[in-house]
Amino acid sequence: MPTIRFRLTGSRDDADAVMTALHGIDRIERVEEIDDMMPGMREDSSSSESVSDSEGQVYCIEVDTPNDQLADIVRGSAEVIAHDREAGIEFTDEF
């Protein structure tokens, strides 16, 4: 069962819109927001005290799919919705 993980940078409404749309895809087994284990930490910065480059929040989202074909559909759908909402999206292997 493929698991898709991504970080969405945007508003709460952006994250909710992406998660709601993904819930609507047939045979999706799970869509869940994962709590950030270290809030405020930025991997792209040498200092955890740096001011954010954007005003959006980062939401870690995980989706379980039954096969690779549906995983590709999830990735494509999440990208389109994030783009339409002008939110950032980054796919990752682990959080």
Query: In terms of residue numbers, what domain contains 70?
Result: 3-36+56-92
Domain annotation covers residue 50: no
Q: What pTM was estimated for this model as a whole?
A: 0.80
pLDDT at res. 95: 85
Residue-wise pLDDT for 67-91, tens only, equals: 999 999 999 999 999 999 999 999 9
Of residues 76, 71, 73, 66, the one with CA closest to residue 93: 71
Structure confidence at residue 51 (pLDDT): 41
Residue 13 belongs to some domain of the structure: yes
Asked whether residue 48 is assigned to any structural domain, the reply reads no
Mean pLDDT of the chain: 87
| 71 within some domain | yes
Total structural domains within the chain = 1
* Domain CATH code at residue 63: 3.30.70.260
Band of pLDDT at residue 50, cut at 50, 70 and 90: very low
List, in order, residues 6 or more apart from 68 with CB less than 8 Å away.
Answer: 2
The predicted structure's pLDDT at residue 43:
53
% of the chain exceeding 70 in pLDDT: 79
Calpha distance 42→48 (Å, rounded): 6
- What is the pLDDT averaged over residues 48-61? 68
d(CA 22, CA 8): 13
**Is residue 31 included in any domain, yes or no?**
yes
Give the residue from 68, 69, 72, 67 showing the smallest Cα distance to 91. 72
